Chain A
Amino acid sequence: MTTGSAQLGDLLVVSSAGGVLLDALALGRSYPGSCSFVAVDAVDTREELAAEHVEFRREPSLRRPLGLLAESVVAWRSMRRRRPGLVLSAGTALAVPWFVAAAVLRVPRVWVETFNIIDRQGLAARVCARIATLVAVQHPARLGVHLRSVLVGELM
């Protein structure tokens, strides 16, 4: 694991508020290396990430392409500065521009399917899963839904 972490470098976790934060936190805090966060500014992210290195952002709307583009530029600049070895998210909309920027910069991307995804996912999840390097799933039945997935079991 140490070898893998050294190869992959620092982890950048991108997260919205709510349930997706719980999965992202679980993996972020257990990463065998350095980890920082980009999160939507909310009551729960403020409390849970109080002791972490975090950059707060506003949740973009998937219905506003210009907003997504602007956030992608912010993400691209931030990642050029941070140079993370891996980007991880469980959702939701904020992850899209950051995954796009990571893909442009060829930074590996892990999309985490939340525990309550049994069948069809939302739009942000479909986009991020499509451009992810790897999708982490929590239910055996979700293996095979994605091109590249791994069953990691329950995270929270």
Chain B
Amino acid sequence: MTAPNPHDPPRTVVVTVGMGRWPFDRLLRAVGALGDDYDLFVQRGTSDVPLACPAPRFVSPSELRDRMQAADVVVTHAGNTVRLVQRLGKVPICVAREQRRGEMANDHQVQFLRHEQRSGLAVGLWGELDDLAAAIAGHPAVEAALLATRPKPPEIDLDRAWRLLLHELHVEASSR
């Protein structure tokens, strides 16, 4: 697959809000206001905000990965999907669910997105999301600039993770 030209306007946009029980109406209202400028696909979760594009409540993980891989821009809530998108070699546009808006039971997505934004690993949008359309339109150039400078995600070593866990569990059991 050839890398998209950062000077070309994006065409395909995938939006995902996760599997949780909290609706994310704020993001979906902003997506609904994008009009028909893009080929949109939205995984909308429990929200009932009307959308004119394909918008299933939930999507299988394999389909979602395929759609995110093929998309010019991925817009996501600040869940674990953020890392999935980053490991696909992309920079996601992220919106954190906020407790005070009834979008989640706590603000861990707010803290996480601030962290990722500071690191240049994600583009964060806040407030009423009036800037979503502009962020999507300019994302290819922003993404190209961030990808050129940001640190790459570290290698995953699950065997090492288990060696550490089993060692610590053994130490814990021995101390009792």
Residues of chain A having any CB pair with chain B under 8 Å: 1, 4-5, 7-8, 17-20, 22-23, 26-27, 30-32, 42-44, 47-48, 59, 86, 108, 110, 114-123, 133-134, 136, 148, 150-156
A153 pairs with B19, CB closer than 8 A: no
- Docked complex Cα distance between A26 and B164 (Å): 15
Q: How far is the CB of A141 from chain B (nearest CB, A)?
A: 10
Question: Roughly how many angstroms separate A32 CA and B163 CA in the complex, as a whole number?
Answer: 10
* Contact between B172 and A133, CB atoms less than 8 A apart: yes
Q: Determine the residue in chain B with the shortest Cβ distance to A86.
A: B169
A116 near B78: Cβ-Cβ < 8 Å: yes
Residue contact A110 to B165, C-beta cutoff 8 Å: yes
Residues 99-114 of B, flagged 1 when their CB comes within 8 A of A and 0 if not, give 0000001111101101
Q: A8-B169, A118-B112 are in contact. Are A32 and B58 (CB under 8 A)?
A: no
Q: Which of A18, A30, A115, A153 contacts B83 (CB 8 A)?
A: A115
Would B162 and A1 count as touching, CB distance under 8 A?
yes
The answer to whether A1 and B79 touch (CB under 8 A), given A18-B19, A18-B20, A122-B108, is no
Specify which of A47, A48, A108, A122 is in contact with B169 (CB 8 Å cutoff). A108
Known: A18-B20, A22-B84, A30-B162. A118 touches B115 (CB 8 A): yes
Question: When the two chains form the complex, which single residue of A47, A108, A119 contacts B60, counting CB atoms closer than 8 Å?
Answer: A47
Q: How far is the CB of B58 from chain A (nearest CB, A)?
A: 4
Does B158 interact with chain A (Cβ within 8 Å)?
yes
Query: What is the number of residues of chain B that contact chain A, defined by CB distance less than 8 Å?
Result: 45
Complex: how many Å from CA A27 to CA B108?
A: 23
Question: Could you give 5 example pairs across A and B, Cβ below 8 Å?
Answer: A8-B169, A18-B20, A116-B108, A119-B108, A153-B157
A120 close to B79 (CB less than 8 A)? no
> Roughly how many angstroms separate A122 CA and B109 CA in the complex, as a whole number?
11
* CB of A123 to closest CB in B, whole Å: 7
The answer to whether A152 and B165 touch across the interface, beta carbons within 8 angstroms, is yes
Q: Is the CB of B19 within 8 A of A44?
A: yes
- Tell me the smallest distance from the CB of B117 to a CB of chain A, in Å: 12
A119 / chain B contacts, CB cutoff of 8 Å: 108, 111
B166 contacts the other chain (Cβ, under 8 Å)? yes
Closest to A121 in B: B108
Minimal beta-carbon separation of B88 from chain A (angstroms)? 12
Q: Please, which residues of chain B bring their CB within 8 A of the CB of A8?
A: 166, 169
Look across to chain B and name the residue whose beta carbon is closest to the beta carbon of A156. B83
